[in-house]
Amino acid sequence: MLKTRKIILITGCGGLSTAVAKKFATEGDIVIFLARNKKMLAEARNRIAEIGECFAYQLNVTDEQRTKKIVAAIYKKFKSIDVLVNAAGILGPVGPFHENSFSDWKEALNINLVGTACVCHAVLPFMIKNRAGSIINFSGGGSVQPMPNFSSYAASKAAIVRLTENLAREYATYGICVNAVAPGVIKTAFMKNTLAAGPKKAGKDYYEKMVAQNKIGGDSPDLAADLVFFLSSDTSHGLTGKLISAKWDPWKKFTAEEVVRINANSEYALRRIDNQFFYEKK
């Protein structure tokens, strides 16, 4: 039986977005980039078009009206939007919070969090209509622990996880799965900009960690792409509302029984469990 080609929307067009696009294109799916940098967008589209069918739309993901217009046009053309991957994002200002440009601080929240929410908001009505879909939002290490000197980035990534958890519960009855992915320390603009900030702003320990990661090439974006593909497939058995690390979590071993168990408790999620006011769900 021939594989049904899925319609994949991917925001951003950097190294991580392109790795994800390559994975889906290799599997025969139709990839559509949404990104604001015209030159990078064209380069990413051309690269993926060598593998499979690929389209690109120039878009600032915080532009609500244009986002809705483009998403509606895509749905009209293909009659489906099967997977949304929110990979667009920026690092934001680096350094002690009080020294940050507050306008730059807000911009990171706007692009990372509001941009993610904006595209989800535009896509969800069509997934509801088809009673199926998968949304994967990129988060990161900054979402699960303090990340000194990267407050706007960390705050936006933590908020993305909570948004993911909310949407997973709100839209589960429509057959829509929503998850977040921590891709690891990949050699992207994040690493480049952290190194450019220097040890004084980034913090000596974290800066040295980035220097070491840069020397070995960083974590593989292909591993994150494989996880995204897994979460958008039937193989993930309906896993939803979770933050999964591409590098550290045993997602390749998740069975159907394991997913039922994980979905029913606080693993891979943001929770406060003190057994006094907040209890583990039994």
Identified catalytic residue from 153, 171, 207, 268: 153
At position 24, the amino acid (one-letter code) is: F
Closest CA to 243 of 159, 122, 149: 159
pLDDT for res 71: 98
Tokens representing 168 are 């997973």
pLDDT along the chain (282 residues), means of 10: 83 95 97 97 97 97 98 97 96 95 97 98 98 95 85 95 97 98 79 84 85 77 95 96 94 95 91 73 64
pLDDT of residue 260: 95
* Whether 152 contacts 114, CB under 8 Å: no
Type and span of the H or E element at 180: strand 176-182
Does residue 153 carry a catalytic annotation?
A: yes
Structure tokens at 66: 């244009």
For residue 1, the model assigns a pLDDT of 45
Rounded to whole angstroms, the Cα distance separating 41 from 106 reads 25
Q: What is the predicted pLDDT for the residue at 152? A: 95
Predicted confidence at residue 281, as pLDDT, reads 66
The residue whose two tokens read 């594989």 is: 3
Q: Are 194 and 142 in contact (CB under 8 A)?
A: no
pTM: 0.93
CB neighbour class for 234 (10 Å; exposed up to 12, middle 13-18, buried from 19):
exposed
DSSP state letters, 206-251: HHHHHHHHHHHTBB-HHHHHHHHHHHTSGGGTT--S-EEETTTS-G
Q: What is the pLDDT of residue 44?
A: 97
Structural domains of the chain, with CATH: 7-184+219-263 (3.40.50.720)
Length of the chain: 282
